[in-house]
């Protein structure tokens, strides 16, 4: 999309990209927490670049785009420079305050419409309608309601609205980690993430499928997007799987199933991990420690299922020209940024500061080989790539602010837990199933990170009420928020895999759903096995881990269906009576 911009627009986009890199690297080192200036600048640059990148097709409508850019600067700039004054006169806002708020809310909706699509916008508009006409709603969800201007004022200026949790997390952590991923890819590390597993397991039973699982785990841990992971690693692994003998829909299903695991895998875990840290008040290093074992179990489950799927069809890969040890010896330095960033966070550095150090390590690593060196031109290209990737989630800030702002304003957050508990009859199993259904439906219209944040705000209290510890409750919601990527009917990552594999969309979707079954087992383990989230004595945790490893293997073996073939073979060999 960048290539469609004219010269002046490209210059503006590049300047904005560099500004994001330099401002947030500088601020992460000096001020780990985002102030209103950081959040405001992030939102302004995001709005401006989105309206540039997702511009109208006709020249006449482009004038409207430039007007929207100007309004974005004015409205958000007004919030930045009048932040303290507006807080002092809460409840007595001026007419100008109200006008700015209305324009700001409408801009957020238009921004989301251009990037995310109509479904997300419809949800936002329905929430606005619910906020205004709450007194006409059924008694179960009714509230006093308010005028549209008053509601917009609440959403735009209060801390749980547009400049609330999502904007704070994006400006403090997520942007820097998206940029880190762009620089890691630019320094040549992505090739290592494929070459090493290819040499290690590519020649084994189901080798290309296993390469897909390992490569997706490595790359997905820093990409922050299951779809981006599917498209980037899948472009290489899916044709390789087909060539080895995997059926097209199976090859297309393995990759997205493996790719969503990157959303659980430290050190980055997409944007959700940082939102979880913000909501729970726990250090991100704690979130990482709790996430490691469940993430490994997810990949282990997919790995086992791929192994037995390949055994059914006798799929064996080709041996690589180089051994895994040779590749590790010659390219070991590519893992330094990931290892470094993990160590920095575990030793107490803030996530933002760790991301800046990680970017610095990427720049140093790039100079080991001449062909991967990051000079001024490459630095700008990586900044542009990272910024463009961040816009897709940044564009959701406005509508997420509307949704959470209305939920808070209406008091539904306080009553939702009671509603869920009542529907589930106090059953934790039914509660988790209801949350899974809510996440799936919500994920059809909004990005998975947004689905997690919205669901967590209302569902976590219900889980805590049923005895689940807070962090485990968030993990349940976070895992289930990923289901829309691979669960029909709307499974974008699976459809992306089907496109690359040139396979039937629905067969691929159901294959991805089959391989990702641990996605639905994990939340129940979080709910019923406290040790799964490191809640318990060391002995309890060790016992639980051993049993879960054995159980995961048996669970994955059973779901692979190989026992069905063996059973058929027994009956076919049996002598006729």
Q: Which of the residue ranges 25-34, 418-427, 551-560 has the most confident prediction, judged by mean pLDDT?
A: 551-560
pLDDT at 426 over 90: no
Nearest 5 degrees, angle CA 288-CA 292-CA 295?
Answer: 125
| pLDDT at residue 577, as a whole number | 46
Distances (CA, A) of 534 to 288, 471, 510, 541: 11, 10, 33, 6
Q: Which long-range contacts (CB under 8 A, 24 or more apart) does 418-421 make?
A: 418/462, 419/140, 420/459, 420/462, 421/462, 421/465, 421/466
Neighbour count for residue 457 (Cβ, 10 Å): 20
- Calculate mean pLDDT across residues 16-41: 78
| pLDDT at residue 192, as a whole number | 83
| pLDDT at residue 31, as a whole number | 65
- Band of residue 32 on the pLDDT scale cut at 50, 70, 90: low
| Domain limits, the chain | 1-111+121-412+495-504, 413-494+505-564
- Band of residue 224 on the pLDDT scale cut at 50, 70, 90: low
pLDDT at 486 over 60: yes
> Helix (H) and strand (E) counts for the chain?
29, 0
- Band of residue 219 on the pLDDT scale cut at 50, 70, 90: confident
CA distance 436 to 9: 43
- SS3 of 339-363: HHHHHHHHCCCCHHHHHHHHHHHHH
- Calculate mean pLDDT across residues 164-179: 79
Q: Which of the residue ranges 188-197, 265-274, 405-414, 500-509 has the most confident prediction, judged by mean pLDDT?
A: 500-509
- Calculate mean pLDDT across residues 224-240: 77
Distance in angstroms between the alpha carbons of the first and the last residue of the chain: 69
pLDDT at 33 over 60: no
| pLDDT at residue 474, as a whole number | 94
pLDDT at 41 over 90: no
Q: Check if the beta carbon of residue 200 is closer than 8 Å to that of residue 245.
A: no
| pLDDT at residue 249, as a whole number | 92
**Length of the chain (residues):** 577
Q: Check if the beta carbon of residue 107 is closer than 8 Å to that of residue 47.
A: yes
| pLDDT at residue 489, as a whole number | 65
Looking at 54-174, list the stretches that DSSP marks H as alpha helix, in order from N- to C-terminal side: 59-81, 83-88, 95-115, 118-132, 148-157, 165-169
pLDDT at 573 over 70: no
- Band of residue 222 on the pLDDT scale cut at 50, 70, 90: low
| pLDDT at residue 271, as a whole number | 75
The predicted-structure confidence for 339-352, as pLDDT tens digits, reads as follows 888 888 878 788 88
Q: Which of the residue ranges 18-22, 169-173, 374-378 has the most confident prediction, judged by mean pLDDT?
A: 374-378
- Band of residue 34 on the pLDDT scale cut at 50, 70, 90: low
Q: Which of the residue ranges 144-148, 202-206, 454-458 has the most confident prediction, judged by mean pLDDT?
A: 144-148
Share of the chain above pLDDT 70, in %: 94
pLDDT at 414 over 70: no
The predicted-structure confidence for 305-314, as pLDDT tens digits, reads as follows 998 888 887 8
- Band of residue 490 on the pLDDT scale cut at 50, 70, 90: low
Q: Check if the beta carbon of residue 250 is closer than 8 Å to that of residue 309.
A: yes
Averaged confidence pLDDT in the chain: 85
CA atoms within 13 A on the CB side of 480: 30
pLDDT at 337 over 70: yes
């Amino acid at each position: 999309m960048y290539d469609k911009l004219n010269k002046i627009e490209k210059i503006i986009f590049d300047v904005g990209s560099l500004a994001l890199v330099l401002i947030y690297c500088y601020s992460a080192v000096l001020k780990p927490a985002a102030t209103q200036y950081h959040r405001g600048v992030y939102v302004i640059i995001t709005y401006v670049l989105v309206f540039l990148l997702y511009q109208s097709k006709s020249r006449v409508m482009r004038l409207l785009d430039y007007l929207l850019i100007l309004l974005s600067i004015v409205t958000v700039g007004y919030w930045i420079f009048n932040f303290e004054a507006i807080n002092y006169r809460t409840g007595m806002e001026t007419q100008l305050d109200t006008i700015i708020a209305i324009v700001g809310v409408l801009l957020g909706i238009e921004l989301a419409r251009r990037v995310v699509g109509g479904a997300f916008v419809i949800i936002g508009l329905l929430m606005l309608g619910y906020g205004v006409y709450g007194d006409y709603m059924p008694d179960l969800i009714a509230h006093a309601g308010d005028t549209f201007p008053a509601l917009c004022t609440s959403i735009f200026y209060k801390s749980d609205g547009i400049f609330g949790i999502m904007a704070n997390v994006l400006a403090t952590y997520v942007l820097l980690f998206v940029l880190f991923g762009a620089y890691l890819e630019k320094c040549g590390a992505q090739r290592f993430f494929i070459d090493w597993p290819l040499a290690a397991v590519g020649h084994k039973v189901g080798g290309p499928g296993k390469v897909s699982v390992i490569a997706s785990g490595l790359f997905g841990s820093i990409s922050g997007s299951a779809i981006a992971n599917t498209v980037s690693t899948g472009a290489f692994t899916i044709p390789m799987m087909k060539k080895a003998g995997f059926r097209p829909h199976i090859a297309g299903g393995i990759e997205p199933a493996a790719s969503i695991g990157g959303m659980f895998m430290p050190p980055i875990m997409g944007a959700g991990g940082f939102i979880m840290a913000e909501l729970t008040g726990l250090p991100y290093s704690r979130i990482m420690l709790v996430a490691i074992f469940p993430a490994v179990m997810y990949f282990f489950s997919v790995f086992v299922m791929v192994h037995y799927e390949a055994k059914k069809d006798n799929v064996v890969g080709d041996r690589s020209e180089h051994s895994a040890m040779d590749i590790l010896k010659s390219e070991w330095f590519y893992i330094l940024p990931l290892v470094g960033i993990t160590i920095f966070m575990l030793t107490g550095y803030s996530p933002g500061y760790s991301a800046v150090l990680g970017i610095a390590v990427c720049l140093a690593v790039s100079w080991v080989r001449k062909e991967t060196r990051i000079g001024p031109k490459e630095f700008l290209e990586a900044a542009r790539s990272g910024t463009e990737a961040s816009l897709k989630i940044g564009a959701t800030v406005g509508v997420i602010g509307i949704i959470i702002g209305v939920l808070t304003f209406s008091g539904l957050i306080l009553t939702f837990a009671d509603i869920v508990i009542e529907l589930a009859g106090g059953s934790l199993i039914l509660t988790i199933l209801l949350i899974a259904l809510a996440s799936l439906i919500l994920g059809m219209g909004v990005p998975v990170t947004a689905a997690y944040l919205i669901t967590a705000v209302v569902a976590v209290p219900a889980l805590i009420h049923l005895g689940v510890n807070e962090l485990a409750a968030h993990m349940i919601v976070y895992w289930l928020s990923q289901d829309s990527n691979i669960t029909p009917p709307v499974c974008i990552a699976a459809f992306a895999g089907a496109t690359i594999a040139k396979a039937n969309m629905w067969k691929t979707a159901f294959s991805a759903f089959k391989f990702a079954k641990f996605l639905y087992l994990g939340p129940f383990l979080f709910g019923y096995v406290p040790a799964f989230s490191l809640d318990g004595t060391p002995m309890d945790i060790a016992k639980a881990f051993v049993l879960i490893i054995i159980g995961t293997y048996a669970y994955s073996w059973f779901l692979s269906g190989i026992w069905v073939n063996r059973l058929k073979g027994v009956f076919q060999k049996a002598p006729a009576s």
